Amino acid sequence: MDDAACGWNQRELAEKCHPSFMEGVFLGSEALASGALTRYQLRTFYRRVLPDVYAPKRTELTLQQRATMAWLWSHREGVISGVAASALLGARWVDDDVVIELNWPNHRAPPGVRTRNDTLLDDEVMTAHGLPVTTPERTAFDLARRGSVREAVQRLDALARATDFKTEDVRLLAQGHPHVRGLRRVDRVLDLVDAGAESPRESWLRMMLISEGYRRPATQIPVLGADGYPRYYLDMGWEDILVAVEYDGEHHRDDQEVYRKDIGRLEYIASAGWIVIRVVKGDRRFQILKRVERAVRSRGGL
């Protein structure tokens, strides 16, 4: 069939006229060598996303696809690490366009890829989604020593929630890498990790309270119902004085059903003796701290 007769939609054109239509990302040289595509098809229906790595035109690439293209670019030799590895291991709150960190010795990485030449031991690499990635413990070690402390804790909270890695295992791993950059701060950052955080803003809120000298708040505190089983959970707080702090996302106000349920939830929690400070986007630090201080003082302090 003549290519021009197949219609205007590129994806339909590829699927109807060319049974060899390639999904996802792939090496152009391999597709040509195997006969899966002709040079015309490769040029017409696909775009180069990295040297010799192609994807269907007009396709929005997911983080997993972008990690795959970085791995293919490394001749299938690199190991996905850092934030991208945490996402592949199940951590939430990672954008699809995050820079893909790749442990592979190459100092000329293309845009969107950052290469590192770190020592990786055999037991620090695993497979996730068909790709070689650093283990949860090694990923946590790398996250703990890079970037700002606040961002590191947020990333580690999400990774801990997804994988339940143990900080002691990360410390043990660190002993095998005594000369890496950022090692001195790893213990301090790991001490701040809490898998109970359900969002980066909850991590930020907890970190703010700790930095102001408050005793570290517990997270996901159960509020029991009449049957003795947990009925609700509080983001963070101090059970001994019944003061909690919660971060409310936009959905709490935009979704009427969620808003209605929140009213009943807060009424019940108040009846159980709790003071709840609710924090929303736009609240300023000094305002939040003033409200927390007032509530804590009303209960005799910490």
Per-residue confidence of the chain (302 residues) as pLDDT tens digits? 333 333 334 445 444 444 445 779 999 999 999 999 999 999 999 999 999 999 999 889 999 999 999 999 999 999 999 999 999 999 999 999 999 999 999 999 999 999 999 999 999 999 999 999 999 999 999 999 999 999 999 999 999 999 999 999 999 999 999 999 999 999 999 999 999 999 999 999 999 999 999 999 999 999 999 999 999 999 999 999 999 999 997 655 666 777 788 899 999 999 999 999 999 999 999 999 999 999 999 999 88
For residues 98 and 49, membership in a common domain is answered with no
Among 190, 214, 240, residue at a domain's last position? 190
Beta bridge partners of 244: 237, 276
> Do 79 and 184 reside in the same domain of the chain?
yes
**Is 97 part of any domain?**
yes
Is 195 within the bounds of a domain? Answer: no
Domain match, 70 and 184 both: yes
Residue 111 and residue 168 in one domain: yes
Among the residues of 59-166, which ranges form H helices?
63-73, 82-88, 136-144, 149-163
Question: Could you tell me if 70 and 113 lie in one domain?
Answer: yes
3-state SS class at 51: coil
Is position 197 within any domain?
no
Instruction: Identify whether the C-beta of residue 118 lies closer than 8 Å to the C-beta of residue 103.
Output: yes
pTM (global) more than 0.75: yes
* Number of other residues whose CB lies within 10 A of the CB of residue 219: 19
Domain that holds residue 19: 3-56
